[in-house]
Chains A and B, each alone.
Chain A
Amino acid sequence: MSVPRYWREIKYRYRLLGCMCKECGSVFFPRRHICLKCGSRDLEEVKLSERGRVVSYTVVRNPPKEYEKYAPYIVALIELGDGARILSQVVDCEPEEVHLGMEVEATFRRVREDGPSGIIEYGYKFRPVIS
């Protein structure tokens, strides 16, 4: 696991920062240099909505390396309030409870760790809305 690679993404992952096209208003996550909709290069950093709905989901049962200890876990395609879509784990929720259209909100969790002595990567996950 690479420390600089993790560090570089920290603020985007911790605070759910994406970008918005100043020309056409499209919102993207993750950030990008060129608008996918209109081709404009004039994009600005924006805080994304922390609430959204589950568009679809799966339950990962045979995970990649570094994710084994968390399995099984739900991964969902989520549409946020501002229209941006994000892929995220959904936690605090049983596989039987998650459903299409479910309202979810961002939370802050451990994502993976580099063994017992390496760094711990934190970031966003989503959960059913608490209140």
Chain B
Amino acid sequence: MKTAKTVGIVGYGAYIPRNRLKVSEISHVWGGGGAPIQEKAVADIDEDAVTIAVEAARYAVKRAGIDPREIGAIYVGTESKPYAVKPCGTIVAEAIGATPCVTAADYEFACKAGTEAFQTCMGLVSSGMVKYAMAIGADTAQGRPADALEYTAACGGAAFIFGLKNHRTLAYIEGSYSYTTDTPDFWRRSREPYPRHGSRFTGTPAYFHHIVGAVKGLMGELGYGPEDFDYAVFHQPNTKFPIKVAKMLGFPMDAIKPGLIVPFVGNTYAGSTLLGLASVLDVANPGDRILVASYGSGAGSDAFSLVVQDAISNDRRLDPAVSIFINRKRYIDYSLYARLRGKILT
């Protein structure tokens, strides 16, 4: 999928809550053996997907250096909506001062809701319907106590502002490719607090099949191979999957490492791929080409090819880099985690 006019990222912002739970704390309580990551970020008692989205959105606006009233569309991708009905997007729009001439909605496609929003923004900007559009992926991810998901389900998010490519564009998008099938590998029924999943079924027929499909499709359309990319970011439900899919597709470890934050943050669901991309933009140089491939259960993958521009190297890096959020942390124990995530009946 290519836009009629070239669209790029003019600003981005990330946010990761301060609390960290070591996976060893979870093993200590539930006796699990594996360690899919080291530690995960946990929202505080007064944080949720909306507050995370607002934080990320504010940093994105600052970095873009634009008047927020010029943002014509805001989409929040999340599966942790504080309200089942009432958009997160309106709260974000109000908080950054983008109201009232703005369209806003929430997206849901498991962990790829944020990249879905990317594509919508690209279309709106390219068509000239809006000057700028903002896509956010933010979650306070759910995982049932003792479930494998509990070891990784984390909180965080990132926001990206899209505009037509010009000299202020940090990175422009060469193309996008989506690969979607009906594959129920992970789901959460309405009014259920925790998702369920198909265990190993989430791997080969789900995560790997769809990402490989999207990335191969994108590279085919653009005529690129893995060697044409300096960085690759994949959805990061754990440390193993993105490394494995990179290997399957022929990307070297060096290309994925800068965007691989899951060992220290956990799986932030809709925030995961976006935080990875933000980490890469924090370090990328003009001319670098970045591959981004999300994965959303249910299932699908959106792949993008981005090229970094000169604007990246000026003062646009003033706002906190993802690494600052990764290093800003306080460790909590399982009992406080249980309280913060509402796992204790009160």
Touch test A–B (CB under 8 Å): yes
Interface residues of A (CB under 8 A from B): 10-11, 14-15, 69-70, 91-92, 94, 107-111, 120, 122, 125, 130-131
Main secondary structure of the interface of B (DSSP, over half): loop
B139 an interface residue at 8 Å Cβ cutoff? no
**A125 in contact with B46 (CB, 8 Å):** yes
Taken together as a complex, chains A and B put the C-alpha atoms of A131 and B282 apart, in Å, by: 15
**A108 in contact with B58 (CB, 8 Å):** yes
**B51 in contact with A130 (CB, 8 Å):** no
User: Which of B91-99, B224-232, B302-310 makes up part of the contact surface?
Assistant: B91-99
In chain A, what residue has the closest Cβ to B95?
A14
In the complex, the number of residue pairs spanning A and B with C-beta atoms less than 8 Å apart equals 50
Q: A108-B54, A108-B58 are in contact. Are A92 and B95 (CB under 8 A)?
A: no
Using an 8 Å CB-CB cutoff, how does the interface string of B50-66 with A read, 1 for contact, 0 for none? Answer: 11001100100000000
Taken together as a complex, chains A and B put the C-alpha atoms of A11 and B89 apart, in Å, by: 15
**B18 in contact with A92 (CB, 8 Å):** yes
**B328 in contact with A130 (CB, 8 Å):** yes
**B320 in contact with A131 (CB, 8 Å):** yes
B47 an interface residue at 8 Å Cβ cutoff? yes
**A122 in contact with B50 (CB, 8 Å):** yes
**Residues of the B chain whose Cβ atoms lie less than 8 Å from the Cβ of A92:** 18, 44
B249 an interface residue at 8 Å Cβ cutoff? no
In chain B, what residue has the closest Cβ to A89?
B46
**B18 in contact with A120 (CB, 8 Å):** no
**B97 in contact with A70 (CB, 8 Å):** no
**A107 in contact with B55 (CB, 8 Å):** yes
Using an 8 Å CB-CB cutoff, how does the interface string of B276-301 with A read, 1 for contact, 0 for none? Answer: 00000000000000000000000000
**Residues of the B chain whose Cβ atoms lie less than 8 Å from the Cβ of A110:** 46-48, 51
In chain A, what residue has the closest Cβ to B325?
A130
**B328 in contact with A108 (CB, 8 Å):** no
Taken together as a complex, chains A and B put the C-alpha atoms of A53 and B15 apart, in Å, by: 23
Q: A70-B46, A109-B47 are in contact. Are A11 and B83 (CB under 8 A)?
A: no
Contact residues of B between 310 and 346, Cβ < 8 Å to A: 319-320, 324-325, 328, 330, 346
Using an 8 Å CB-CB cutoff, how does the interface string of B93-128 with A read, 1 for contact, 0 for none? Answer: 011010000000000000000000000000000000
**Residues of the A chain whose Cβ atoms lie less than 8 Å from the Cβ of B328:** 130
What 6 pairs across the A-B complex have the smallest Cβ distances?
A: A110-B46, A108-B54, A109-B46, A14-B95, A131-B320, A92-B18
**B95 in contact with A108 (CB, 8 Å):** yes
Contact residues of B between 72 and 104, Cβ < 8 Å to A: 82-83, 91, 94-95, 97
**A130 in contact with B44 (CB, 8 Å):** no
Interface residues of B (CB under 8 A from A): 18, 44-48, 50-51, 54-55, 58, 82-83, 91, 94-95, 97, 319-320, 324-325, 328, 330, 346
**Residues of the B chain whose Cβ atoms lie less than 8 Å from the Cβ of A10:** 94
Residue of A11, A91, A94, A131 touching B46 (CB-CB under 8 A):
A91
Q: A92-B44, A122-B95 are in contact. Are A108 and B51 (CB under 8 A)?
A: yes
Supply 8 further A-B pairs (C-beta < 8 A) apart from A108-B58, A130-B328: A11-B94, A15-B94, A92-B18, A107-B55, A122-B51, A125-B46, A130-B324, A131-B319
Residue of A11, A14, A94, A108 touching B55 (CB-CB under 8 A):
A108
Taken together as a complex, chains A and B put the C-alpha atoms of A47 and B319 apart, in Å, by: 20
**Residues of the B chain whose Cβ atoms lie less than 8 Å from the Cβ of A14:** 91, 94-95
**Residues of the A chain whose Cβ atoms lie less than 8 Å from the Cβ of B82:** 120
**A70 in contact with B95 (CB, 8 Å):** no
In chain B, what residue has the closest Cβ to A113?
B82
**A91 in contact with B97 (CB, 8 Å):** no
Taken together as a complex, chains A and B put the C-alpha atoms of A122 and B325 apart, in Å, by: 22
Query: Smallest CB–CB gap between B333 and chain A, Å?
Result: 14
**Residues of the B chain whose Cβ atoms lie less than 8 Å from the Cβ of A107:** 51, 55
16 sample A-B contacts, Cβ–Cβ < 8 Å, listed by A number: A15-B94, A15-B95, A15-B97, A70-B46, A91-B44, A91-B46, A109-B44, A109-B47, A120-B48, A120-B83, A122-B50, A122-B91, A130-B320, A130-B325, A130-B328, A131-B320
In chain B, what residue has the closest Cβ to A50?
B58
Q: Which of A91, A107, A108 has most B Cβ within 10 Å?
A: A108
